[in-house]
Chain A
């Protein structure tokens, strides 16, 4: 297990990583939310990111997906420098993401949500004269995608009417609709019931092997079933990285993160991870 700010997941560092960050920094006024983070995620890797609340995990994702610009550092996708690209260009290059605070289209139906995602990387998104419902291939694929979770019977429901669990599932499906090569998941199981967590885990495990997965998760149990290696973020910096088993047994990691679970309630909050 390696410590320090550089992390490599999966196969040897010589292959071109699917996703890489080099010296990433992001400051908000006085606060350094992400502090000199470098990481390389190999193609097909299943990579977890853990860390306490406010560690900078979501901010790191926002740097990778382009929602915010880094103060310093570079982002590479399959060896290509994407630091200056806006989110929609990164999506077109195969980078998908979900949001911790759910961002589905609340006043659209489930079918409309997924169809919108389907058109995302197609020229048809600018088509004006043909009804979206007449793109049978797209809507059929959208409906099939909904079937991967229990959303097949909820196609005509407006997203605002869905249960919390269903919304989280829709959130993941929206990202999957683009068939990304690299998928960033920000706490996909947050706030879900144990049964729903199992469902999410099963879906994540069933994803194609060539897909590169980077997943933020508070719940080590959810992570254990899905990822093979993980990195620990603390106060914006990467403090440990390695196989899941090593991460769990690392003393420093216990201190800054996992240890909190055995402290008496009230000393450190595990709450606040949900939307």
Chain B
């Protein structure tokens, strides 16, 4: 019993990680509803994890993240519409979102708490408004299609399987980078900012710079998700970045668990399931989603990930008790 528990403590994480990776690779082989669903989940999970890096660690909840998803996607689409080659279009999309992140960051780091929420909300709405009304550039309501995807040698994103695997790899890279960041001294400083910024400044930290960098990282990775989004969907239109899209991203993070990176990825999985799967069978899927969210917030303030962690702690406590008795 004790040995089994100890094995579980050592191996649950790695085994679950490998198992999920293997399952994803297998499921993504076939064209069809399931693989489309998974790819959507992975793209949204990148946004949710970026949002968590900013919200869960630094304490800055952004309600405008969908806007930056849109900037990445529109950047690619508009560049292709102007006959840029596909790889150059990717460069335009990522460059646009990076520059925008660097510029808007100057404004965003001036505020905290609810003011930050409102400012990012305003940014998101302005970006949405531009997509909707700057018809000359964005085609307005209709959106812009993207039909030619980048390729180099045998690596061709126009091949559906290659595209799906690329999404999986990018998701994994972003997740591992964000996890690495959170474990670094910089990541520790972000948690310090959320906990007590005045104290951190008194310890020699230029806290505004740290918040700025966290912002730029989160915005850039969201833009990366935007590029993938437009490749996967073949179209970007204003609805992708509207107010409810922003709300859903925050829901993913809260449902999954703030400050855990993997949790919000899990949150994205659940929310996409509700949106795309359950909505087929159930008209009142939004009611059910609302009730689920209430239940999670009530019974596990740390979200779904918090519940998993709590189970792990109970196991560790049991191990400690068994070790004492033996």
Contact B192 A116 (CB under 8 A): yes
The answer to whether A106 and B196 have CB atoms under 8 Å apart is yes
Q: Is residue A127 contacting chain B, with contact meaning CB distance below 8 A?
A: yes
A116 to B188 CA separation, bound complex (whole angstroms): 7
Q: Distance (Å) between the CB of A64 and the closest chain B CB?
A: 12
In the assembled complex, the Cα of A75 lies from the Cα of B126 at a distance in Å of: 44
Chain B nearest CB from A141 CB (Å) reads: 14
- If A116-B189, A119-B189 touch, whether A105 touches B199 (CB-CB below 8 Å) is yes
Verify if A121 is at the interface (C-beta below 8 Å from B): yes
Determine if B184 and A132 form an interchain contact, defined as CB atoms under 8 angstroms apart: yes
Pick the interface stretch among B80-88, B202-210, B306-314: B202-210
Residues of B contacting A178 with CB < 8 Å?
203-204
Cα A135 to Cα B185 with chains together (Å): 9
Which residues on the A side are within 8 Å of B187 (C-beta)?
128, 132
B195 touches A106 (CB 8 A): yes
Alpha-carbon gap, A91 to B209, bound state (A): 16
- A-chain residues with CB within 8 Å of residue B210 when the two chains form the complex: 126
Query: Does any Cβ of A come within 8 Å of B174's Cβ?
Result: no
Is B201 in contact with chain A by the CB < 8 A criterion?
Answer: yes
B204–A108 contact, CB under 8 A?
A: no
Q: Check: B155 CB closer than 8 A to any chain A CB.
A: no
Cβ of A250 < 8 Å from any Cβ of B? no
B180 & A125 in contact (Cβ 8 Å cutoff): no
Known contacts A88-B206, A107-B195, A125-B189; is-contact A133 B183 (Cβ 8 Å):
yes
With the chains together, A78 CA to B47 CA distance in Å? 49
Measured CA separation A96–B183 after assembly (Å) = 26
CB-based nearest A residue for B209: A126
Instruction: Give Cα distance in the complex from A115 to B189, angstroms.
Output: 10
**Contact, CB under 8 Å: B198 / A103:** yes
Nearest-neighbour CB distance to chain A for B167, whole angstroms, equals 24
Q: Which residues of A contact B184 (CB under 8 A)?
A: 127-132
Contacts of A175 in B (CB 8 A): 202
Residue B315 at the chain A interface, CB threshold 8 Å: no
Give the complex CA separation of A177 and B192 in angstroms.
15
- Contact, CB under 8 Å: B196 / A88: no
Contact with A along B168-189 (1 / 0, CB 8 A): 0000000000001101111111
A75 to B187, CA, bound (A): 33
Which residues on the B side are within 8 Å of A120 (C-beta)?
Answer: 200, 203-205
Contacts of B191 in A (CB 8 A): 105, 107-108, 112
Bound CA–CA A124/B188 (angstroms)? 11
Complexed CA–CA distance, A67 and B213 (Å): 23
Whole-angstrom CA separation of A112 from B213 in the bound complex: 21
Q: Contact flags (1/0) for A124-157 with B, using CB distance below 8 Å?
A: 1111111111010000000000000000000000
For the complex, give the distance between the alpha carbons of A133 and B196 in Å: 21
Q: Beyond A103-B199, A104-B199, A128-B181, is A112–B188 a contact (Cβ under 8 Å)?
A: yes
Nearest A residue (CB) for B197: A103
Mask for A79-109, Cβ within 8 A of B = 1, else 0?
0000000111001100011010001111110
**A127-B185 CB under 8 A given contacts A105-B192, A178-B203:** yes
Contact A115:B188 (CB < 8 A) given known A103-B199, A105-B199, A108-B195: yes
Residues of A within 8 A of B201 (CB): 86-88, 91
Contact yes or no, B202 A124, CB < 8 A:
no
In the complex, chain B residues whose CB is within 8 Å of the CB of A177 = 203
A213, chain B: closest CB distance, angstroms:
16
List residues of chain B with CB within 8 A of the CB of A58. Answer: none
Does residue A189 face the partner (Cβ distance < 8 Å to B)?
no
Residue among A96, A99, A105, A107 with max Cβ neighbours from chain B (10 Å): A105
A:220-247 near B, CB below 8 Å: none
- CA A124 to CA B201, docked complex, whole Å: 16
Q: How far is the CA of A104 from the CA of B203 in the complex (A)?
A: 11
Q: With A87-B202, A128-B180 given, can you name 20 additional A-B contacts, CB distance below 8 Å?
A: A65-B202, A67-B198, A88-B203, A88-B206, A97-B202, A105-B191, A105-B195, A106-B196, A108-B192, A108-B195, A116-B185, A116-B189, A116-B192, A116-B200, A126-B213, A127-B184, A128-B181, A131-B180, A131-B184, A132-B188
Q: Which 4 A-B pairs have the closest CB atoms?
A: A120-B204, A120-B203, A91-B204, A103-B199
A-B contact pairs, 24 of them (CB 8 A): A67-B198, A67-B202, A86-B206, A91-B201, A91-B203, A91-B204, A103-B196, A103-B198, A103-B199, A104-B196, A105-B195, A116-B188, A119-B185, A119-B189, A124-B185, A125-B185, A126-B213, A127-B185, A128-B186, A129-B180, A132-B184, A132-B185, A174-B203, A177-B203
